[in-house]
Structures are given as C-alpha cells and as structure tokens.
C-alpha cells in the first residue's frame, strides 16, 4: 500500500514512564529537514513512483529502523540499556512493506564491553518483541505470507535478524532457539572472526570452519537465511558452496566499483548469483562510493546497483541500505572512541586491513540518509533513468521475496 499505511500513532514503549521505568535519553527526530532529500523528478514521474510503491512489495534487506541519541556520544550508553526505540511513524511513510531489522547486538553491552553476548542478544530481542506486542501496525514477520499480508493491509512486516552468529558460541542448538524466538536471518560473522569463520577484517582469511559448516547446515534445516555480508571472501565462498539453499549478502557492494575491503570481489558476487542468491546494496557512509567519487551518495549507490545487475543479472540484486534515524558517522566515532579509550584491547595490526579514517566520510549519504527516504529515492532514480516498472519492482523487493520463498 505504499505510503498509505494504517498507522494509529503508537510510539515506542508508550506504555512505560520515561525516567521511572527506564533511563531516558534525548533521541534524534525521525527526519531532519536539512538532511532529508528527494531525487528530483517531474510531477508525472512522482505519480509513477507512488504507483510503483503501492502496487509492488517493497523489502528492505538490511536496516536499523530505530532512533539514535541526539548526542552521538551518548549512543553507546543508550545501547547498553538494551531498549531500542523503533521509529513507527517514520516507517509508516517509508513505502516499505518489510524491513529486516538488524537490532544492535554488537553494541548492546549490558554484560560485556565487547557485545555479541547470548544474554544481551536475547535481552535486546525480548525488549523489542515486548514493544511490538503492544501495538497493531507492525507484524512480527515469521513467514512470506506475513509480508504479503502487510502489503495488502497497510501494515509493516518486521523481520528481526542478527548481523553475526557470535552469540551462539559453539552451540548449534542456539540456532533453533533463535528461530523459535523469530530470528529469520543471521550473519555468520561480523568483521572480526568467530567460531564459524573469518571476518572481513582479518589479515589471514581462514574461511568457514567445521563448526561454521555445521551452523549453515542447521540454518538450512530450520529455514533461516544465511547472510555473509561481513565475512571474509573465502568464508563467503565456502558458505555459498555449503548451503543447499540460496544465501544473501544483505548489505555490501562491488569491490570493482569501490576497492575497499567492505565490498566483495566479482568472484564472490558471481558465485552468489549462480547459486540463486541476492545482494542488497548498502548505503552506509564510507561504503558504496566509486573510484572517481569515494564519498557515496544516491548516484554512487546506484552505480553499484547497475554494476551488480550487469555482473549478476537483474534477478539477483536488491536493496539493504543499512541506515538509521541518527548520525551514522557519529555512531562510528563513538565506537572508535570506545575501542581506543576504554581499554578494550583493539590495536592496529601491522599489515592489517584498514579502511580510510572517519574524517573522510560524508556526514550522511545524500538521498539515503534514513530508512524513510532510501527505497523511495531508489525508485525515483530508476524511474528517472528509464527502468520499467517490472525491473524496478525486482530491485526494491521482488528479488528478495523470491529468495525468501526458497529459504523460509
């Protein structure tokens, strides 16, 4: 139903009293007008954009649709409380029918400075499920039919997912537990390695471990989507080969367009498409730029979309913007400060893989600053550049839907 969602005004945790039931922080407004941007299109083109968003299912493969603190220096303190505030109203006008919410498990540090702990992950998920249970706009999505229902009835299908499997430690049965609690997609490793395989930041790429192979097999059996967005190249290739079902790179881009370690080389992208997988193109600051224009915006983002369409085929590309309602670069700064000043034992390794510093990043990504505007602007850009309705429909959700039908 596009932006005509049936939202009744519910605000996150409104059944509780701020300052009494939980520690209150000043949160950023959903959309700052000086940051919000619309790809310029004609009146007739905008009508077509809205028709596409209403007619076709729109799926965001990777996002963090929650509020960040107004003061970025407080964001980690906020995360440590284990209560993230979903931006219900802003999502109701986003045009999105289903959003893959990656929670904040790597930064929920209730019991540990390092995050990714089992107890903290369950706490984070449980708080969100409690909030969702008190409203009627968001559907806790557990199957493909929930996405179709959300599209037909003007609601939003919320898919809770994890960016890393670190919290399962060496317990494969925890995959079943997470599935039982509603997790439907999970990354094998974040940028650092874990029991399952190498992360993208490692100096030596060890690939998928034996335990990682066992985890992929179990994820296939329960019907959980395997994500390799933050793994090393070899871990991704091993997972693609090991999985009997297609997998996803929910948020990344093409290394041939932007030669940084966060992107994937053609070898991985081709292997993904050959096994029926899908890549969701990422838009977080410092990622999907190009060699000529390293600071990413809607134009460089679409350069990755078009490159992947040409390399992998139209049926294997989607959108995973990886945005948030807040200062994304400020959040990076807070994480970096925590690592360097809190005695967490992270040092630069000689010969290690290092991306450019935070000072080179744009403050926000023009046209893709938050979950509300991201996929609407992708649609506008594609309309403006002559894509057909059916082609646009595949990129903004159709390909993701077909993938989920095969996995779930």
% of the chain at pLDDT higher than 70: 92
Q: How many CB atoms lie within 10 A of CB 106?
A: 23
Cα first-last separation, the chain: 24
Can you say whether the dihedral through the CA atoms of 325, 331, 332, 333 is positive or negative? positive
- CATH number for 43-407: choose from 3.40.50.20, 3.20.20.140, 1.20.1250.20, 3.40.50.620: 3.20.20.140
pLDDT at 330: 81
pLDDT at 301 over 70: yes
32 pLDDT exceeds 80?
A: no
Which range (15-29, 225-239, 330-344) has the least confidence? Answer: 330-344
pLDDT digits 0-9 by tens, 165-211: 999 999 999 999 999 999 999 999 998 899 999 999 888 999 999 99
**Helices 233-242 & 266-274, crossing angle to 10 degrees?**
10
Residue 217 binned pLDDT confidence (cut-offs 50, 70, 90): very high
Place of tokens 């229902």: 149
**With bands split at pLDDT 50, 70 and 90, how would you rate the model's confidence at 358?**
low
According to the model, what pLDDT value does residue 336 have? 73
Average pLDDT on 18-27 reads 95
360, 294 Cβ separation under 8 angstroms: yes
Q: What is the pLDDT of residues 115-167, one digit of tens each?
A: 899 999 999 999 999 999 999 999 999 999 999 999 999 999 999 999 999 99
Q: pLDDT at position 346, please? A: 62
Q: What is the mean pLDDT of residues 346-370?
A: 71
- Which residues make Cβ contacts (< 8 Å) with residue 127, sequence separation at least 6? 82, 83, 84
Q: Which of 35-44, 109-118, 203-212, 340-349 has the lowest mean pLDDT?
A: 340-349
DSSP string, 191-250: SS--SSB-BTT-SS---B-HHHHHHHHHHHHHT-EEE-TTB-HHHHHHHHHH-SS--EEE
Q: How many residues does the chain have?
A: 408
pLDDT tens sequence across 261-282: 999 999 999 999 999 999 999 9
């Amino acid at each position: 139903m596009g932006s005509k969602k049936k939202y009744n005004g519910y605000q996150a945790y409104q059944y509780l009293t701020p300052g009494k039931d939980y520690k209150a922080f000043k949160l950023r407004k959903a959309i700052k007008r000086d940051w919000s941007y619309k790809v310029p299109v004609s009146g007739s083109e905008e009508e077509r954009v809205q028709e596409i968003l209403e007619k076709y299912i729109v799926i965001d493969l990777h996002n963090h649709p929650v509020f960040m603190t107004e003061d970025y220096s407080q964001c980690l303190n906020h995360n440590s409380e284990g209560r993230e505030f979903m931006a219900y109203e802003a999502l109701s006008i986003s045009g999105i029918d289903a959003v893959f919410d990656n929670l904040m498990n790597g930064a929920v540090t209730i019991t540990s400075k390092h995050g990714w702990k089992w107890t903290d992950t369950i706490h984070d998920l449980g708080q969100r499920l409690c909030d969702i249970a008190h409203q009627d706009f968001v559907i806790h999505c557990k199957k493909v039919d929930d996405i179709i229902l959300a599209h037909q009835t003007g609601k939003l299908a919320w898919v809770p997912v994890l960016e890393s499997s670190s919290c399962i430690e060496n317990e494969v049965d925890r995959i079943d537990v997470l599935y039982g609690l509603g997790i439907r997609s999970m990354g094998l490793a974040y940028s650092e390695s874990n029991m399952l395989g190498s992360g993208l930041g490692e100096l030596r790429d060890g690939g998928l471990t034996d335990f990682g192979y066992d985890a992929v097999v179990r994820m296939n059996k329960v019907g959980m989507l395997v994500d390799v967005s933050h793994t090393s190249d070899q871990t991704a290739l091993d997972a693609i080969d090991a999985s009997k079902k297609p997998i996803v790179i929910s948020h990344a881009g093409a290394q041939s367009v932007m030669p940084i370690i966060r992107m994937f080389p053609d070898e991985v992208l081709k292997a993904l498409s050959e096994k029926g997988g899908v890549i969701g193109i990422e838009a977080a600051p410092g990622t999907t730029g190009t060699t000529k224009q390293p600071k990413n915006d809607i134009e460089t983002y679409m350069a990755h979309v078009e490159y992947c369409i040409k390399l992998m085929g139209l049926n294997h590309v989607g959108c995973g913007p990886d945005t948030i309602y807040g200062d994304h670069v400020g959040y990076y700064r807070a994480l970096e400060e925590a690592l360097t000043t809190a005695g967490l034992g992270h040092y630069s390794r000689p010969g290690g893989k290092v991306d450019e510093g935070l000072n080179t990043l744009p403050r926000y990504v023009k046209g893709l600053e938050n979950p509300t505007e991201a996929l609407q602007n992708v649609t506008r850009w594609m309309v403006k550049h002559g894509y057909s309705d059916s082609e646009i429909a595949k990129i903004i959700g159709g390909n993701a839907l077909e993938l989920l039908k095969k996995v779930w």
